[in-house]
Amino acid sequence: MSTLAHQPQTGTFRNAVGFEVERVRADFPILASQVNGKPLVYLDNAATSQKPRVVTEAIQRYYDEQNANIHRGVHALSMVATDAHEHARETVREFLRAGDTREIIFVRGATEAINLVASTYGRKNVGAGDEVLITAMEHHSNIVPWQILCEEKGAKLRVAPINDAGELLLDEFEKLLNERTKIVAATHVSNALGSVNPVYRMIKMAHARGIPVLLDGAQAVPHMPVNVEVMDCDFYAFSGHKVYGPTGIGVLYGKAALLEAMPPYQSGGEMISSVTFEKTTYNKLPFKFEAGTPDISGAIGLGVALRYLMDLDSCKVAAYEHELLAYATEEVAAIPGVRLIGTAKEKAGVLSFIVDGVHPHDVGTILDQEGIAVRTGHHCAQPVMDRFGIPATARASLAIYNTKQDVDALVAGIRRVQEVFA
């Protein structure tokens, strides 16, 4: 085949929704930088996203003008800081379409959110002989906390299988639900494969048997509007830094009735309402789960990031990204000697691939020389790699500021990899 036949097919990407990507790019200062003498092509968004100027400015403003501890002082600054922190909680509630801010717990990230549920709800409700059901496409953060819990309790961790495309086998999932299953913990979108799980049907199946469902939304919220009430999930976890917010802040949504019945997670200040040496009464929701001084600037930054995304119209964002992913999939799959890992019908944001005869690490180094940032390795999902019989993949992952040009640069970069290793 001639090389010409595999040149980027200009015109197949139309930006049908008319998303103003150049205006968005201007909001992210880092995108104007150069790496290894080339303009930065940032395609490692599933690891962490870049931050718009409004987010970093809000954090700076907080420290310059509003810094004080929250929920404690009667002085003016403390009240300003408390208001800003709680305003961020209200923004998160709106973002997730949750019913009540009492259901929004600030944590360090999705990992801590899952650990919180495993070590409180899990420890209280999972006993010897019980089962916890996860899927074969989980990130380590949605495997290990449950493994530890099961080990401690003498319970069993069950894993719902996936097919060769990286799609959950829903029938098998349903068969694994039984009277011993105490909780289902599943990812909304796979970080290694990009597969979108059929979460509505999964939740329905679990609820039909009275089993609560936790969703790991870390890779979902950057790419699609989420409505926890319509989904009817019991817990929803996500990290701020993957959705244009700062690192160190994340969210656990939980249904109020479940959170009320759960024992506290960490203990200390803030999470109490009264302490004597004889007895401590815990604070009300959500503060019961927020011991110690929280990441105030992080919460404020996250609130601003989510507002930024909502102002962009998340449906339009999702449509644009969807079209860009389809274009990237078509272009990368058309390169001879490149294999896509994860070809689910429903996908979001992620393009994992293998270049024949070249280890992903070498792919990553060569792309980096072209200014292209991708992730290489097992993506904290070793069981997924094992499922496909590979040690690692290279992963390009998209965000709202990526363009057709970024995808074309990736395709040219992969061709460069093949030249070096020819």
35: Cβ–Cβ under 8 A, 6 or more apart, which residues?
368, 371, 373
CB 167 within 8 A of CB 135: no
What residues numbered 320-359 form the site for another protein, per CB under 8 A?
357-359
- Give the separation between CA 168 and CA 185, rounded to whole angstroms: 13
The DSSP string of 165-189 is TS-B-HHHHHHH--TTEEEEEEESB
What is the chain's length? 422
- On whether the CB atoms of residues 186 and 134 are closer than 8 A, the answer is yes
Q: Is 193 in the site for another protein (CB under 8 A)?
A: no
With tokens 């992210």, the residue in question is 28
By the rule CB under 8 A, 413 interacts with another protein: no
Q: Which is nearer to another protein, 125 or 369 (CB)?
A: 369
- Give the shortest CB-140-to-another protein separation in angstroms: 11
Distances (CA, A) of 294 to 75, 108, 290: 19, 9, 7
Gap between the Cα atoms of 42 and 373, Å rounded: 5
Between 18 and 391, name the residue whose CB sits nearer to another protein. 391
Q: Does 37 participate in binding another protein (rule CB under 8 A)?
A: yes
Q: Nearest distance from residue 369's CB to another protein, in Å?
A: 5
- CB of 412 closer than 8 Å to CB of 3: no
x/- site string to another protein, residues 353 to 382, per CB under 8 A?
Answer: ----xxxxxx--xx--x------xxx---x
Q: Which residue number, 154 or 357, has a Cβ lying nearer to another protein?
A: 357
Q: Which of 140, 144, 44, 142 lies closest to 352, judged by CA?
A: 44
Q: Is 233 a catalytic residue?
A: no
Among the listed residues 203, 385, 407, 409, the single contact to another protein using CB under 8 A = 385
Query: Of the two residues 351 and 367, which places its CB atom closer to another protein in the complex?
Result: 367
Question: What would the x/- binding string for another protein be over residues 160 to 189, using CB under 8 A?
Answer: ------------------------------
Q: What is the DSSP letter of 195?
A: B
In the complex, least distance from residue 357 CB atom to another protein, rounded to whole angstroms:
8
> Does the footprint of another protein cover residue 415 (CB under 8 A)?
no
> 20 CB contacts (<8 Å, ≥6 apart)?
none
329: Cα separation from own chain's centroid? 21
- Choose, from 150, 233, 315, 380, the residue flagged as catalytic: 380
- Give min distance, CB of 284 to another protein, in A: 42
Q: Please work out the total of residues on this chain that contact another protein, with binding judged by CB under 8 A.
A: 20
- 288 or 379, CB closer to another protein? 379
Please identify which residue in 33, 36, 60, 293 interacts with another protein, judged by CB under 8 A.
Answer: 36
Taking the C-alpha atoms of residue 240 and residue 243, their distance in angstroms, rounded to an integer, is 5
Beta carbon of residue 40, minimum distance to another protein (angstroms, whole number): 14
Distance CA 146, CA 114 (A): 9
Least distance CB 417 / another protein (angstroms): 10
CB of 176 to another protein, least distance (A): 28
Q: Is 421 in the site for another protein (CB under 8 A)?
A: yes
DSSP state of 4: G
Q: Applying CB under 8 A, which of residues 129, 154, 268, 391 lies at the interface with another protein?
A: 391
Q: In the range 290-319, which residues lie near another protein by CB under 8 A?
A: none
Integer Cα distance of 101 and 323 in angstroms: 34
Instruction: Compute CA 412 distance to the chain's CA centroid, rounded to the nearest angstrom.
Output: 28
- Strand 104-107 relative to strand 131-135, pairing: unpaired
Active-site residue numbers?
A: 380
Q: Which residues of the chain form contacts with another protein (CB under 8 A)?
A: 36-37, 357-362, 365-366, 369, 376-378, 382, 385, 391-392, 420-421
